[in-house]
Amino acid sequence: MIEVVLNDRLGKKVRVKCNEDDTIGDLKDYEIHDGMGLELYYN
């Protein structure tokens, strides 16, 4: 399980839990752009 900290469409920081096999398409509702840095937390 990976936890990603990113900004949602309202500009609020949120933590999203993902599986290792999830793709960027699973996070398309968030403001993620090419070249953007993400904070990752591994459990």
Look at residue 14 in the predicted model and tell me its pLDDT. 83
Torsional sign, CA 40, 7, 30, 33: negative
pLDDT at 23: 78
Report pLDDT for 17. Answer: 85
The predicted pLDDT at position 29 comes to 64
* Residues 3-41: tens digit of each pLDDT: 888 777 777 888 888 888 887 777 766 666 667 777 776
The answer to whether the CB of 3 falls within 8 A of the CB of 17 is: yes
